[in-house]
A = this chain, B = another copy of it.
Amino acid sequence: MGQTYALLLHGGAGVLAARSYDPERMHMRELAEAGKAMLESGKTALDVVTEIVRRLEASGLYVAGKGASPNQAGRYELDAAIMDGATQKAGAVAALTGFVSPVHAARAVMEKTRHVMLAGRGAERFAGLQELERVESVNDYYTPAAAPDTRDIATGTVGCVALDVSGRIAAATSTGGTLNKLEGRVGDSPILGAGCWADGHVAVSCTGQGEFFLRKATAKDVSARMAYGGQGLAEAAQGAIADIGTMGGEGGLIAVDARGNLAQPFNSPGMKRAAVYPDGRITVEVD
């Protein structure tokens, strides 16, 4: 490919008609500009998706990281995954408590262990040993982005996919889960093949009602439609989301292929997202 780059980021499926989302729009544009600059400077797709998702987590504007929702036990359990298309190396954490950046913990699992996924106490212990930044005070840190009475927005998640100038693609997804989720509930976000995926064909990050994405292995499904069905990115991405709809599920995904094609289908009422196209153009949309 050479010198082509592209990026998509999302701040979760589901928007409310009554809100403007100006803060999210402004923030997503800022991140898209930052991602574009990183890609132009030659940063790897893996580093770019890590950094963009870290900033999405840190913003408190989405249901991930600082904006996460407490579960029914009142605890903040967070999930994240990251995958490198070039090597298909991957890392994930599920039901992680006590750390600022779940995507950094996922990246550390990928790079510092022979495992792919760590959950619960073990994930927490590992993150501690890696000296990742801890949440000092749970009550002070978290500012749940999901209003208690808005079920739709509470399915929010953040993610990023990117193609770098060396032709490598990568994906990362992070979530604070659904509001009032059962303690220990793991959705699609940290599940490779469901909410996050990258291989030689495509990098995908999903958002929405995670249980449906788990039951369809949606992120891998996009790749499989391309690899085995000869579908292009747009058809594959749209087909995977249509399958979610057939089951009665709502959500969306962002995807980039190795040529810099972008897809961002959703069947939910809106999806907060921003794109950096190969020609440098940036778009920010919520519906």
Contacts and interface: CB of A to CB of B under 8 A. Distances in A.
B119 A216 contact: no
Interface of A is mostly: mixed
A72 to B, nearest CB: 9
Given A193-B193, A215-B89, A217-B192, A118 B186 contact: yes
Contact of A211 (B115, B193, B217, B225): B115
A134 interface: no
A71 B118 CA distance: 12
Contacts of A123: 184
A95 interface: yes
A247 interface: yes
Interface centre among A71, A120, A231 (most CB of B within 10 A): A120
Q: How large is the interface on A (under 10, 10 to 19, 20 to 34, 35 or more residues)?
A: 35 or more
Contacts of A89: 215
B116 A211 contact: yes
Nearest to A236: B228
A220 to B, nearest CB: 4
A223 to B, nearest CB: 8
Given A116-B215, A228-B229, A122 B90 contact: no
A184 B229 contact: no
B214 A224 contact: no
Given A194-B193, A220-B221, A224-B221, A214 B118 contact: no
Interface of A: 71, 73, 77, 83, 88-90, 92, 94-95, 113-126, 181-187, 191-194, 197, 210-211, 214-217, 220-221, 224-225, 227-229, 231, 247
26 contacts: A88-B247, A94-B94, A94-B186, A115-B181, A115-B182, A115-B186, A116-B186, A116-B211, A116-B214, A116-B215, A117-B191, A120-B184, A121-B183, A121-B184, A124-B184, A125-B183, A126-B183, A126-B184, A191-B193, A193-B194, A220-B224, A224-B227, A224-B228, A227-B229, A228-B229, A228-B231
